[in-house]
Amino acid sequence: MPISKELYPSQDDLVYEEELLRNPFSLKLWWRYLVARRDAPFKKRFIIYERALKALPGSYKLWHAYLTERLDIVRNLPVDSHQFETLNNTFERALVTMHKMPRIWIMYLSTLTAQQWVTRTRRTFDRALCALPVTQHDRIWELYLRFVSQEGVPIETSLRVYRRYLMYDPSHIEDFIEFLLNSRLWQESAERLASVLNDDQFYSIKGKTKHSLWLELCDLLTKHAKEVSGLNVDAIIRGGIRKFTDEVGRLWTSLADYYIRRGLFEKARDIFEEGITTVVTVRDFSVIFDAYSQFEESMVAHRMETLELSDEEGDDGPLENGPEQDEDLRLDVNASDFEKKILSGFWLTDDNDVDLLMARLEHLMNRRPELANSVLLRQNPHNVEQWHRRVKLFENNPTRQILTYTEAVRTVDPMKAVGKPHTLWVAFAKLYEKYNDLDNARVIFDKAVQVNYKTVDNLATVWCEWAEMEMRHKNIKAALELLRRATAEPSVEVKRRVAADGNEPVQMKLHKSLRLWNFYVDLEEALGTLESTRAVYERILDLRIATPQIIINYALLLEEHKYFEDAFKVYERGVKIFKYPHVKDIWVTYLSKFIDRYGKTKLERARELFEHAIEMTPADSVKPLYLQYAKLEEDYGLAKRAMKVYDQATKAVPNNEKLSMYQIYIARAAEIFGVPKTREIYEQAIESGLPDKDVKTMCLKYAELEKSLGEIDRARGIFVFASQFADPRSDAEFWNKWHDFEVLHGNEDTFREMLRIKRSVSASYSQTHFILPEYLMQKDQTLNIDEAKDKLKQAGLPEDEMAALERQLAPMVNNTHSKDNSRKVGFVSAGVESQGDSGVKVNANQEDIELPDESDSEDDEKVEIAQKDVPSAVFGGLAGKREEPEASAASDGDAGGRLGALERIKRQKRGG
Of the candidates 151, 49, 136, 63, which has an alpha carbon nearest to the alpha carbon of residue 100? 136
Give how far Cα 579 sits from Cα of 573, 613, 615, 618, 621, Å: 12, 11, 12, 11, 13
Q: Within its chain, how far is the Cα of 812 from the centroid?
A: 72
Please write the tens of the pLDDT for every residue from 384-439.
Answer: 998 989 899 888 888 999 999 999 999 888 888 888 888 999 999 999 999 888 99
Q: What is the pLDDT of residue 908?
A: 62
Q: What is the pLDDT of residue 594?
A: 79
**Ramachandran region of residue 202, left (φ > 0), alpha (ψ -120 to 50) or beta?**
beta
The total number of residues shown for the chain amounts to: 912
Neighbours of 69 (CB within 10 A): 14
**What whole-number distance in Å separates Cα of residue 781 and Cα of residue 24?**
115
Q: What is the pLDDT of residue 818?
A: 37
Q: What is the pLDDT of residue 443?
A: 92
**What whole-number distance in Å separates Cα of residue 121 and Cα of residue 779?**
99
DSSP string across 413-439:
-TTT-BS-THHHHHHHHHHHHHTT-HH
Contact (CB, 8 A) for 416 and 382: yes
In this structure, the dihedral spanned by the alpha carbons of residues 620, 621, 626 and 628, taken in order and rounded to 10 degrees, is 160
Q: Which residues of the chain are under the pLDDT cut of 50?
A: 317-333, 335, 769-785, 788, 791-792, 795-806, 809-866, 885-899, 912
**Terminal alpha carbon distance of the chain:** 175
In this structure, the dihedral spanned by the alpha carbons of residues 654, 656, 662 and 663, taken in order and rounded to 10 degrees, is -150
Tell me the pLDDT of the chain averaged across its residues: 74
Q: Which residues contact 306 (CB under 8 A, 6 or more apart)?
A: 351
Contact (CB, 8 A) for 768 and 788: yes
Q: What is the pLDDT of residue 787?
A: 54
**What whole-number distance in Å separates Cα of residue 235 and Cα of residue 250?**
16
Output phi, psi for 418, to 5 deg.
-100, 105
Q: Which helix (H) or strand (E) holds 237?
A: helix 233-243
**What whole-number distance in Å separates Cα of residue 437 and Cα of residue 468?**
16
Q: Which helix (H) or strand (E) holds 277?
A: none
Angle of helix 514-527 relative to helix 548-560, nearest 10 degrees, comes to 10
Q: Which residues contact 672 (CB under 8 A, 6 or more apart)?
A: 634, 639, 642, 643, 876, 877, 878
Amino acid at position 126, single letter: D
Rounded to a whole number of angstroms, the CA Rg of the chain reads 58
pTM equals: 0.59
Q: Within its chain, how far is the Cα of 481 from the centroid?
A: 46
Q: What is the pLDDT of residue 817?
A: 38
**What whole-number distance in Å separates Cα of residue 326 and Cα of residue 150?**
62
Q: Which residues contact 297 (CB under 8 A, 6 or more apart)?
A: 361
Neighbours of 226 (CB within 10 A): 9
Please write the tens of the pLDDT for every residue from 840-880.
Answer: 333 444 434 344 444 443 444 444 444 555 555 555 555 55
**SS3 assignment, position 727:** coil
Q: What angle do CA 135, 138, 141 make, to 5 degrees?
A: 135
Q: What are 848's strand-pairing partners?
A: none
Tell me, letter by letter, the H, E, C secondary structure of 548-571.
Answer: HHHHHHHHHHHHHCCCHHHHHHHH
**What whole-number distance in Å separates Cα of residue 885 and Cα of residue 564?**
36
Amino acid at position 384, single letter: V
Q: What is the pLDDT of residue 853?
A: 43
Of the candidates 23, 97, 17, 105, which has an alpha carbon nearest to the alpha carbon of residue 59? 97
Give how far Cα 591 sits from Cα of 87, 188, 598, 612, Å: 124, 97, 11, 11
Q: How many CA atoms lie within 13 A of 744 on its CB side?
A: 13
**SS3 assignment, position 752:** helix
**What whole-number distance in Å separates Cα of residue 883 and Cα of residue 622?**
36
Q: Which residues contact 523 (CB under 8 A, 6 or more apart)?
A: 467, 471, 479, 480, 483
